[in-house]
Amino acid sequence: MDKSESTKIEMGESSKLERKLGKAPLLGSPSHAISSAVVPTKRAGNYKRGIAIFDLILRIAAAATSIGAAVGMATAGETLPFFTQFFQFEAGYDDLPTFTFFVIAMSIVVAYLVLSIPFSIVCIARSHVIVPRLLLIIFDTAIVTLTTSAAGASAAIVYLAHNGNQDANWLAFCNQFGDFCQTTSGAVVAAFITVVILLILIVLSAIALKRH
Amino acid sequence: MDKSESTKIEMGESSKLERKLGKAPLLGSPSHAISSAVVPTKRAGNYKRGIAIFDLILRIAAAATSIGAAVGMATAGETLPFFTQFFQFEAGYDDLPTFTFFVIAMSIVVAYLVLSIPFSIVCIARSHVIVPRLLLIIFDTAIVTLTTSAAGASAAIVYLAHNGNQDANWLAFCNQFGDFCQTTSGAVVAAFITVVILLILIVLSAIALKRH
């Protein structure tokens, strides 16, 4: 009986202690400290899982826009029914080396984005693993540079095709090849959308790395 | 005398315990656990400080190359002593809208890099603070995109100036304006060097964030 009484008193004390700890968590016992450390880790885990799911969605969107850009540019072509003094019958992406670079670069970007989807899924399944996330941020940065250089270079050429340049005596050919110009412009816009999505992906990855 | 003897025995036991702990640190007492936790933190601190110093050096190098690119392009110009059928007397960066964009973009990059140096110094002084590092990685990513688009677009125009394009009937003008072409090509190369340095900076920042 004496033993059970002492147990009762102990329980009462511990519950009092717990109530006190609830108001002053900084002075908590070791066990309380552990339990309070577990809660933010779980929250951070959910937070990181949310970022990883958003990462996957954006990655699929980026793959879609880059496929659009690559296919759009590769299939852009126009055959004129007549012959003019300055231009040939046909216009295709392979007439301009910059557009060829664009098609090759965007194909690499598409391949990378498709291959990176499994890594993104690993980041969802194991949100605390940082090696795939670090690999993703490094390769994303390299790929965003490739995409931007292709998009920037093609934008310069598309601008020239639309407006020409009097000082260099380069004439615009969009009057003749309107459809070709429209398609290539669309491809360049799609490439810039890919760039923006990739930028968001990099920022998200950096935030996910920070919260580790 | 009896008290001093018991003290002696205790000391002997504690030294034995310490010797045991030295061989099996995983089973250590709380005080030992704390001391072993402090050592990696210090090492990580030195590691991060090293990265931060390297970051500052690379940032100054990037500022130098971007100043070179901006000034090189802005001062590129050539006046021919004769008049040809296709070209004007003078060639300057403001004759081509892409080169104007290049000068503006590289000026923004220079301004950002100079303004970011204090943040980099904060990262050296307080290597555990992550907010400036996160800000640096986000803005570095935005700036690397701006630099790459300017460099890519100008590279496309420089290529056209050197080689021309028969299909679009755009003639190369580097035969006439050799010096102008050389200077602009140099500026584009300097911009691409800036891009590479900025990429290394982003990867370094990501690694520093990871080790937090």
pLDDT in tens, B19-48: 444 444 444 444 444 444 445 556 666 778
Residues in chain B with CB shorter than 8 Å from the CB of A212 are 210, 212
Chain segment A161-200, per-residue pLDDT in tens:
999 888 888 888 888 888 889 999 999 999 999 999 999 9
Instruction: Closest CB to B96: pick one of A148, A161, A168.
Output: A168
* Minimal-distance CA residue of chain B relative to A205: B206
Q: Which of A146, A160, A184 to mutate to test the interface with B (most CBs of B within 10 A)?
A: A160
Higher pLDDT, A197 or A88: A197
pLDDT for position A44: 65
CA distance between the termini of chain B: 53
Query: How close is the nearest chain B Cα to the Cα of A26, in Å?
Result: 18
pLDDT for position A6: 45
Residues in chain B with CB shorter than 8 Å from the CB of A145 are 144-145, 148, 195, 199
Residues in chain B with CB shorter than 8 Å from the CB of A210 are 130, 134, 209, 212
- pTM strictly above 0.90: no
Query: How close is the nearest chain A Cα to the Cα of B58, in Å?
Result: 17
Note the residue count of chain B: 212
Q: Which of A79, A84, A141, A211 to mutate to test the interface with B (most CBs of B within 10 A)?
A: A141
Residues in chain A with CB shorter than 8 Å from the CB of B206 are 134, 137-138, 205-206, 209
Q: Is B122 exposed, middle or buried (0-12, 13-18, 19+ CB in 10 A)?
A: middle
Rounded distance, CA B20 to CA B32, Å? Answer: 12
Chain segment A31-74, per-residue pLDDT in tens:
444 444 445 556 666 778 888 899 999 999 999 999 999 999 99
How confident is the model over B140-145, as a mean pLDDT?
A: 94
Q: Which of A145, A154, A199 to mutate to test the interface with B (most CBs of B within 10 A)?
A: A145
Residues in chain B with CB shorter than 8 Å from the CB of A106 are none
Q: Is A12 exposed, middle or buried (0-12, 13-18, 19+ CB in 10 A)?
A: exposed
Chain segment A122-158, per-residue pLDDT in tens:
888 887 788 888 899 999 999 999 999 999 999 999 9
3-state secondary structure chain A: CHHHHHHHHHHHHHHHHHHHHHHCHHHCCHHHHHHHHHHHHHHHHHHHHHHHHHHHHHHHHHHHHHHHHHHHHHHCEEECCCCCCCCCCEEEHHHCHHHHHHHHHHHHHHHHHHHHHHHHHHHHHCCCCCHHHHHHHHHHHHHHHHHHHHHHHHHHHHHHHHHCECCCCECCCCCCCHHHHHHHHHHHHHHHHHHHHHHHHHHHHHHHHHCC
Residue B199: pLDDT band by 50, 70, 90 thresholds?
A: very high
How confident is the model over B68-85, as a mean pLDDT?
A: 79
Nearest Cα to Cα of residue A165 among B88, B163, B148: B88
Asked if A141 and B138 come within 8 Å (Cβ–Cβ), the reply is: no
pLDDT for position A112: 96
Residues in chain B with CB shorter than 8 Å from the CB of A134 are 206-207, 210
pLDDT for position B61: 96
pLDDT for position B141: 93
Asked if A206 and B148 come within 8 Å (Cβ–Cβ), the reply is: no
Residue B91: pLDDT band by 50, 70, 90 thresholds?
A: confident
